[in-house]
Structure 1
Amino acid sequence: MNTKKFLWIFSLLAIIVMMVLQLKKNKEITVHKVYHYDKSAPISIHVDTLRLQWLNNKTSFTGIFNPNHESKISADVPGKIVSVFVDEGSVVKKGQPLLQQDKSDFELQLKQVEVNIKGLEDDVRRYSVLKKADAVQGVKLEKAQLGLQAAKIQKAILQDKINKTTVRAPFSGIITMKFREKGEYAAPGMPLFQLVDISNLKFTINVSENEVILFKTGKEFPVVANVYPQDQLIGKVTTVGSESNKMSHDFPVLFAVKNTPGLKIKAGMFGNVYVKREANKQHIIIEASSIVGSNIHPQVYIIKNGKAWLHDIVISGRFKNKAIVSKGLNPGDVIVTTGFINLFDGANVTIKK
């Protein structure tokens, strides 16, 4: 074999061997650098030793105030706006004029119809006299009478349209938005104003299935707006939701609330309704943050012999950041409250002091 060719083959083989050795070395370095989680290593946690507690007999539920009535007001007939009588923030009474449209075309049509009515009334009188004398066929009298009835109906329709050119407030309230100005055109379905009635309010809360039994239609509860804690209102339950929210599994409860004399409570404000519970026995109460799993299948980690074990529980109620446990836990049980990262069923744990 040619010496030069042999040296070339030997050099190529040497390069390949060196590359293989380098790749093997790199792999070993990478394997050593990769973090390998040691499942036997204890996980640091905080715990709570459970005991029976008296349940606070006063619970609050947060909700939001909404107007009793809220409506966008539009014109019933088309026409140019000739006058606007209110502005945003105006307090109006039911039936009060808000806006005037041009009614001149309708008034001209009305005058024409009134002339027709007068002529038809004359015809009816004349044909009535002639028919008695058999000087005219009865069909002409009937035709004149039908024409008179149709003209009177047309007059009533025009009069109604003229009346509707004055847009009035359908209920008492406050003008919160004005969408059109003088000189613009108004048409049916086109919003002109937004009218809100906050003299009476709707207050809505959402409660769990275990708490919905606290509320009965017609029952009254204290309601307080967050910004006016000194003003206690009375909320009367009007509706208890018959179906829960699909996501949160909460039920809506609606209250009717009469606003303060100065209408201080505004739509969109937050408030609380207060409910007294019967404190007839003690309960196991845990922090809601201790619960893992879902609302349908709640669980906690119980510490036994230095290990954390997942344990099923049954929750009978919630309030604020607490949960009332009716089944699955006993006084003296130790549960994990924080340190859930990397925690698993059967994990070794060390308790932080």
Structure 2
Amino acid sequence: MKKIIYLILAVAIVAIMILRLRGNKETTINRVYQYNKEEAIKVQAITLQAESIDSDISCPGTFEPNKETKISSELQGRINSVLVDVGSTVKKGQPLIQLDNALLKLQLQIVEIQIEGLEDDLQRYIILAKADAVQGIQVEKTDLALRSARVQKATLLEQIRKTTIHAPFNGIVTAKLTEEGAFAAPGIPLLQITDISQLRFTANVPEGELNQFSMNELYTISPDVYPGTVLTGRLTMTGSKSNMGNSFPVQFTLSNTADLKIKSGMFGKVQRKNTDSEKHLIVPASVIVGSNIQPQVYLVKDGQAVLRDITVSKRVENKVIVSAGLVSGDIIVANGFVNLFDGANVIVN
């Protein structure tokens, strides 16, 4: 009897669970939005007309110093003093670092004494040789020794001169890599000098716009941080190899402002007027769907959205020039892409 009761209870529980699950499924289905593909979608559209490009060509780039170098010593020795600091403005030939040269100066004094003695000896031997008191070979040896000592003196003077490190050109100290008491050695950088009175500006120009730039012509360049500042740069280099973005490096040389406010590493733009008077089909970049490899747009034909493959020849700011796939008079969807698909019924607002 108990087994029958337990069986009835189990069957009742299973039945209740099945009914509850079925009810939950119906509730979920009712809550889910069922999109009607036959219902017309409201979109905004534009009609294409051929037009000319009236925007300027603008390419971003970076300012770099015309001259920059790391200064090192030609001799090794202890640094007695560093005469400049980071941010110091220096002139060409100005002393920057003084190395210890006491030992060299002592060696110079010894050589000068030797020269003085050899000069006296040479004068005496010349007089004695004329009187046949000494052989002529003695005069020659003394003369050779004197010349050798003078060369040694010149060498020491040059070494002493090199213990004072001078600025190679006008500029600003942008890095201090040593301190007083440190040891200098050939090839080890001590200071970095940067000249920003003259600048180089390097921009990456897309392949399609490269023919708009010509060597030695003047172009307008403006720094991003100072939009009201306009500089003039001369094109001095066009890259022979494209970079990863299929654009080419183009370099300009220009003078900095009087207060040198354009710094190395700042961003800017080079601009030129667009000389292309030919008319093109131009569409906003926002209407393009698909991928960069295969761009597409939605055409409106007979109340339906038709997906059409296009070919983009060039991008100009937030617009693109279409070279194939569209003709003047075509109507394309500009807004309302939600739920839009190829063949969908549409209503143009």
Q: TM-score, normalised by structure 2?
A: 0.76
Displacement, 1:296? Answer: 4.0
Classify 1:39/1:182 alpha carbon distance in 2 versus 1 (closer, same or farther; 3 Å). Answer: farther
1:336 aligns with 2:328: no
Of 22, 25, 28, the residue aligned with 2:23 is 25
AA partner of residue 263 (structure 1): L
Q: Deviations over 1:92-138 (max 9, x none)?
A: 23343211233345556x569959x98xx9xxx9xxxxxxx9xxxxx
Indicate if the aligned counterparts of 1:57 and 1:278 stay in contact, CA closer than 8 A. no
1:219 aligns with 2:193: no
Of 76, 79, 82, the residue aligned with 2:80 is 82
Once residues 266 and 189 of structure 2 are traced to their aligned partners in structure 1, the CA distance between those partners, rounded to angstroms, is 25
Displacement, 1:334? Answer: 1.6
Indicate if the aligned counterparts of 1:208 and 1:317 stay in contact, CA closer than 8 A. no
Q: Where in structure 2 are the equivalents of 1:19-58 lying within 5 Å? A: 19-56=17-54, 58=56
Q: Where in structure 2 are the equivalents of 1:92-241 lying within 5 Å? A: 92-104=90-102, 110=107, 156=155, 162-187=160-185, 190-226=188-224, 232-241=230-239
Indicate if the aligned counterparts of 1:45 and 1:339 stay in contact, CA closer than 8 A. yes
Once residues 23 and 220 of structure 2 are traced to their aligned partners in structure 1, the CA distance between those partners, rounded to angstroms, is 75
Displacement, 1:328? Answer: 2.4
Q: Which residue of 2 aligns with 1:312?
A: 309
Displacement, 1:211? Answer: 0.8
Q: Which residue of 1 aligns with 2:255?
A: 258
Q: Deviations over 1:11-39 (max 9, x none)?
A: 23332333333333333333433444444
Displacement, 1:175? Answer: 1.5
Indicate if the aligned counterparts of 2:41 and 2:347 stay in contact, CA closer than 8 A. yes
AA partner of residue 191 (structure 2): F
Classify 1:21/1:231 alpha carbon distance in 2 versus 1 (closer, same or farther; 3 Å). Answer: closer
AA partner of residue 195 (structure 1): I
- Aligned to 1:210, the other structure's residue is in SS state helix
Q: Which residue of 2 aligns with 1:15?
A: 13
- Aligned to 2:25, the other structure's residue is in SS state helix
1:324 aligns with 2:308: no
Q: Which consecutive unaligned segments of at least 5 residues does structure 1 have?
A: 126-132, 134-140
Of 299, 303, 306, the residue aligned with 1:302 is 299
Once residues 262 and 188 of structure 1 are traced to their aligned partners in structure 2, the CA distance between those partners, rounded to angstroms, is 35
How many equivalent pairs are there? 329
Indicate if the aligned counterparts of 2:314 and 2:320 stay in contact, CA closer than 8 A. yes
Q: CA RMSD in A?
A: 3.9
Indicate if the aligned counterparts of 1:98 and 1:167 stay in contact, CA closer than 8 A. yes
Indicate if the aligned counterparts of 2:198 and 2:256 stay in contact, CA closer than 8 A. yes
Q: Which residue of 1 aligns with 2:58?
A: 60
Displacement, 1:205? Answer: 2.0
Worse overlay, 26-35 or 49-58: 26-35
AA partner of residue 236 (structure 2): T
Once residues 41 and 103 of structure 2 are traced to their aligned partners in structure 1, the CA distance between those partners, rounded to angstroms, is 86
Once residues 158 and 7 of structure 2 are traced to their aligned partners in structure 1, the CA distance between those partners, rounded to angstroms, is 109
AA partner of residue 30 (structure 2): H
Once residues 26 and 2 of structure 2 are traced to their aligned partners in structure 1, the CA distance between those partners, rounded to angstroms, is 37
Q: Which consecutive unaligned segments of at least 5 residues does structure 2 have?
A: 123-134, 136-140
Q: Deviations over 1:223-258 (max 9, x none)?
A: 334565665433222222333332x33322211112
Once residues 187 and 339 of structure 1 are traced to their aligned partners in structure 2, the CA distance between those partners, rounded to angstroms, is 70
Once residues 294 and 182 of structure 1 are traced to their aligned partners in structure 2, the CA distance between those partners, rounded to angstroms, is 61
